[in-house]
């Protein structure tokens, strides 16, 4: 567990109860703006393509029109589903490898099949990402594509 976990937990509990902190008005107010340290925290698994927050973020930053936003929502939903399937396949393959190692004699064909399924999943994900990039490129105008490229280079979004 991270050493500052309890401190942050106590800060969050006291903020939820509306208690004032001693000193400069709390950790967040000391930074300016009166917001708490967790105000900018994103829940979820990071800045990867998803549907909800990345969609709102991209729609705002790219100045998308309503029809572009709807199309992008469908595109992001498709890639989110494919990524989830790859994670399931990966966990299944790890389970198969563990089962093959748990026997008295090493079951190489079973390990090879599990590794092959991981490679096939990665190839399916590669094709899905390629399709998403093609559809996104066709969806955006030149300025929006330039802004998206900047966001990828700066790490605001990842693929």
Domain boundary assignment for the chain = 75-154
> Each residue of 17-33: pLDDT tens digit?
776 555 444 444 444 44
Mean pLDDT, the chain, as a whole number? 80
Q: Is the pLDDT of residue 150 over 80?
A: yes
Residues for the chain: how many in total?
Answer: 159
Contacts of 49-57 with CB under 8 Å at 24 or more apart are 49/76, 49/79, 49/80, 49/83, 49/132, 49/157, 49/159, 50/76, 50/80, 51/76, 51/77, 51/80, 54/157, 57/156, 57/157
Contacts of 104-108 with CB under 8 Å at 24 or more apart are none
> Each residue of 36-71: pLDDT tens digit?
444 444 444 444 444 457 788 889 899 999 999 999
- This prediction's pTM: 0.60
Cα(99)–Cα(128) distance, integer angstroms: 30
What is the pLDDT at residue 148? 92
Which residue's structure tokens are 């994670």?
87
């Amino acid at each position: 567990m991270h050493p500052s976990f309890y401190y942050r937990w106590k800060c969050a509990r006291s903020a939820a109860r509306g208690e004032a902190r001693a000193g400069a008005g709390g950790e967040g107010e000391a930074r300016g703006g009166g917001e708490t340290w967790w105000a900018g925290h994103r829940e979820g698994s990071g800045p990867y393509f998803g549907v909800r927050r990345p969609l709102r973020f991209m729609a705002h930053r790219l100045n998308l029109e309503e029809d572009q936003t709807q199309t992008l929502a469908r595109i992001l939903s498709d890639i989110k589903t494919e990524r989830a399937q790859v994670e399931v396949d990966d966990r299944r393959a790890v389970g198969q490898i563990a089962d093959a190692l748990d026997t008295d004699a090493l079951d190489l064909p079973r390990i090879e099949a599990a590794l092959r399924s991981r490679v096939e999943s990665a190839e399916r994900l590669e094709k899905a990402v390629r399709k998403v990039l093609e559809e996104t490129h066709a969806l955006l105008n030149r300025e929006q594509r330039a802004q998206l490229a900047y966001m990828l280079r700066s790490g605001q979004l990842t693929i």
